[in-house]
Amino acid sequence: MPEGRNGPPDSGEIRYLVLADRAVPYLLARVRWPDVAQAISAACPDWLDDPGLFDLPYDPAAVTVSFPQAVSVAEGWGRRLDAEAEVDVPSYMRRMPANWSDLSPSERRTWGIEFVGRRRVAGGRIRRRRPAQARITDSSAAARAKGRSGALARLGRDPGADVDGAAASDGGQRADVTSGLASLRAERRRHRRLRLDGRAHIRCGHTTISAGLVDLSERGVRCVLPEASSLIAPGATLGGAFLLEAEVYASRICLAVAGRVSWHQFTGGPHFGVAFEALANDETEGVRRLLAAAGRRRARR
């Protein structure tokens, strides 16, 4: 079989994958050949066995995520994600072979994803079908953001420092930071950047970095760590994916891109900035929607 966007599946371990519409995850799968092929969706948060999921790692649209990132997605849909797959769950008998890029009407109905590919996100449709579930998603995201990351952001807040004005804590780091600031200033002029309270779960190799989300633009993100990490240094590459959760509607977006640490500072807490590689068109639209929602929320305050 040809390799997909994220390469072949890891043998012997459960692999977690998401499908997203305009960067908003709508299906979460866990796959391990030959015994685990289960998935849930935003509209159908009950696990289903589906042998067609064995083909999902080879689909170009599938994004491999870490276990902590998968936990965040599942929690947003009101589900707890355990390390082991569930047993005796219902099975979906589908056409074979599976084509996750061109789902049949039956497949779309089963997963509650009739909206995929349409110009309007079906948030309202999902809420109508499962109003209680939608409330759980919004309230749990806001509670976690306020309780876990709000404190981080406040601890690290420095009124005189932003993504353009970060200063390193010593002379050696200052030189590295300065070299990247010119491009960051140019980026800021081109792209709107808004403050967001929330969490950023960043996959880097076999490690997931969880940080407080500070602000976001189409070109990058600024975060604050609870403590310093050896993985965060100016020029370091973060392989992604980036799962960002914020206190706004459509609170989670998944960006299947790599990034580079543009700067790092210790003043007021371990802040760092990441410059994204080029986003796909749907990912750019997802970021814009999130920024627009954040802007409307700020305007109402």
> Mind listing the pLDDT tens digit of every residue in the chain (301 residues)?
334 344 444 558 999 999 999 999 999 999 999 999 999 998 999 999 999 999 999 999 999 999 999 999 999 999 999 998 888 888 987 766 778 888 888 888 888 888 786 544 444 433 333 433 333 344 444 444 444 444 333 333 333 333 333 433 444 444 444 544 554 455 444 567 899 999 999 998 889 999 999 999 999 999 999 888 888 999 999 999 999 999 877 689 999 999 999 999 977 679 999 999 999 999 999 999 999 988 887 777 6
Which domains does the chain show, CATH number per domain?
15-129 (no CATH), 149-300 (2.40.10.220)
DSSP string covering 56-122: GGGSTT-EEE-HHHHHHHHHHTT----SS--SS--B----SS--TTS--HHHHHHHT-TTTTSSS-T
Residue 70 burial (10 A CB sphere; 0-12, 13-18, 19+): buried
The gap between the terminal CA atoms of the chain, to the nearest Å, is: 52
Q: Report d(CA 140, CA 98) in Å as an integer.
A: 34
The single-letter code of the amino acid at 10 is D
Q: 29: which strand partners? A: 17, 39
Residue at 114: amino acid letter:
E
The pTM of this model reads 0.73
Please give the helix or strand (H or E) that residue 184 lies within, else none.
helix 171-190
Closest-CA residue to 116 (of 19, 27, 21, 45)? 21
